[in-house]
A and B are shown apart, each in its own frame.
Chain A
Amino acid sequence: MLEFLNQIINGLSLGSIYALVALGYTMVYGIIRLINFAHGEIYMFGAFAGMLAITVLRLPFFFALIFAMVVSALLGVFIERVAYKPLRKSSKTAALITAIGISFLLQNLTAMIMGNNTSAFPQVFDKQVYDLGGVQINSLQVLIFVVTIILMFLLQFIVLKTKLGRAMRAVAVDKDASVLMGVNVDNTITITFAIGSALAAAAGVLIGLYHIRVVFWMGTAPGLKAFVAAVFGGIGSIPGAMIGGFAIGLMEALVAGYGGTLISPYRDAVVYMLLIFVLLVKPSGLLGKNVKEKV
């Protein structure tokens, strides 16, 4: 039982990371129906930005976190303006291929500038392990939970209570009608990219701190899994992405913890199988709306 609770805690901390990344996928998909393939790379970029802010700029951790989020948001906006905006009217395939190109570009640029090897992420906090009657939780996991929950509340506040959030929801429902209602669609899309990228960057900094290392390919697998989380929760739905992220994290931790030597090496494969399963059984996901095909 204690072992089980420990796995749950591992799963939830991993799941927080996936949830933060999945939010970016789901918001961007909700608003312009594009799978932002480069999102995993923004997460990687955020981790590097955080590392450099601590080691080179000597910022304290929380300022480094905010710095990484701001820089990544700017990168997200830049990518949207340069690469995705010219393609908004062209085919979906073209936009997706461009996104793949951006992801490839960011990865290889990082590899060229920062080197192919892993870089150490500075240990700014001492890892303390708290024992709650046999259930162990460490200070970094607590930090990941706290930061994730604060960011999620902030996001919910922005989306549900502000004028900007209302504009975002309006564009997601009907772009043309929102133009008629005086919503600046271009700006709304840009801000959505900025928010999504900032969340991914926060996740990147947290995972860098947790694993004490960053490397240029670190975004690929979490990016894919976060996408699975977004689809599982219902792509386009913000609460769905949160639930999906935690679910994927838990599933991965449980497969790794209880799969034994036979199944646990396949924990990534299990996540991808879940994706295919969800797409077949309920493509709209847990909380997504079922969109009818119009002829």
Chain B
Amino acid sequence: MKNYLNKRNLITFALLLVIFFVVQFLIKEKIITSYMRSNLYWIGIYIMLGLSLNMIIGITGQLSLGHAGFMSIGAFSAAVALKSDPTLSGLFIGIGIGILISLIVSFIVAVPTLRLKGDYLAIATLGVSEIIRIVLNNLSITGGASGISNIKMLMSWPLLYVFVVLTILLTHNFKNSAVGRACISIKEDEIAAEAMGINTTYYKVIAFMFGAAIAAVAGALFSTTYYIVKPDSFGVSTSINILILVVFGGMGSLSGTIIATFLIGLVNIVLQPYAELRMIMYALVLIVVMIFRPQGLFGSQELSLKLLPNFKQNWFKRKEKSS
């Protein structure tokens, strides 16, 4: 059995605890104001959404434009559950129901549509999220077009932190697992992957369902953070907002998505009074990144301390050669 209590894991764990208590302290001492805190929640929820979409787009290479649809499934499940039981257990029941429904829906959607390629898949997933939105608009249990309001606010820093860390852990392990490697091979060259005996449809469906489930959790947290959910807040533009995080950070790079979310979160704070300007900037970011740096900030690389010693080694090697 592998020893999980190795040095690296212990350092990571200690670091996570330190970050948690530092922020907790700052919140308690009111250095982080409630306004900053709501932005922090936004960043946390969008990190989850970005990472889960990155599993589909960045790791598996399947362009999905329907992520907001799965987010809305989680959001409405949690809202309905919280209406009947406004406690943490109600939230967890809602999250559970949301994951279940979004797994079922994503499976039904994925099996046929993932046989499609590239652009067609993008449009089909967009169509699916529109179908979800229209269904929510017409269901009575979800309150129709006006949605559900006065949802119990249960969001807190510990809750957010646990979910974000869990998401990072899950997506990181997914990326580095055998399944993740199979998915990366599909992204690199689908035909070659198939020739090497990889059941491409199977792995695409797994990645898609995995991303959809995390999006549902993020949606549930969204509903308990913002008191109100409406079908129209999960339209195409929300899916594109998530897409921007992945594209900007670098498709396939988890740390890239996280850093991109922080950067865009900060820009959001600065541009808070100018909502339209913000949207225009989002659009420009998409276009400019695609034209000048299509791989995003980090490409498919991860930000890690390992990069430094490697750099040193390579540097010295090169020097030795030249001398």
Q: Which residues of A come within 8 Å of B, CB atoms?
A: 34-35, 83, 86-87, 90-98, 100-102, 104-105, 108-109, 111-112, 220, 224, 227-228, 231, 265-266, 268-269, 272-273, 275-276, 279-280, 283, 295
Contact = CB atoms under 8 A, between A and B. Distances in A.
B283 A295 contact: no
A111 to B, nearest CB: 6
Given A224-B127, A269-B130, A283-B120, A94 B290 contact: yes
B29 interface: no
A279 B291 contact: no
A105 B290 contact: no
A269 B119 contact: no
A228 B65 CA distance: 16
A111 B276 CA distance: 8
Given A224-B130, A266-B138, A105 B280 contact: yes
19 contacts: A35-B119, A35-B122, A87-B290, A87-B291, A97-B243, A97-B290, A100-B240, A101-B283, A102-B283, A105-B283, A105-B284, A108-B276, A108-B283, A109-B280, A220-B236, A268-B134, A272-B131, A275-B124, A283-B120
Nearest to B276: A112
Q: Classify the interface of chain B: helix, strand, loop or mixed.
A: helix
Contact of B134 (A93, A109, A269): A269
A266 B63 contact: no
A269 B131 contact: yes
Contact of B286 (A101, A266, A280): A101
B110 to A, nearest CB: 12
Chain B, interface size category, equals 35 or more
Nearest to A277: B112
Contacts of B276: 108, 111-112
Interface in B271-285: 276-277, 279-280, 282-285
Interface in B77-129: 112-113, 115-116, 118-120, 122-124, 126-128
A83 B288 CA distance: 9
Given A104-B282, A275-B123, A265 B138 contact: yes
Nearest to A293: B191
Interface of B: 61, 63, 65, 112-113, 115-116, 118-120, 122-124, 126-128, 130-131, 134-135, 137-138, 191, 236-237, 240, 243, 247, 276-277, 279-280, 282-287, 290-291, 294
Given A34-B119, A104-B286, A280-B115, 16 more contacts: A35-B119, A92-B119, A96-B119, A98-B291, A101-B283, A101-B284, A105-B280, A105-B283, A227-B123, A231-B120, A265-B138, A268-B134, A272-B127, A275-B127, A276-B112, A279-B116
A224 B279 CA distance: 21
Nearest to A266: B134
Nearest to B285: A101
B123 A93 contact: no
Contact of A98 (B137, B240, B286): B286
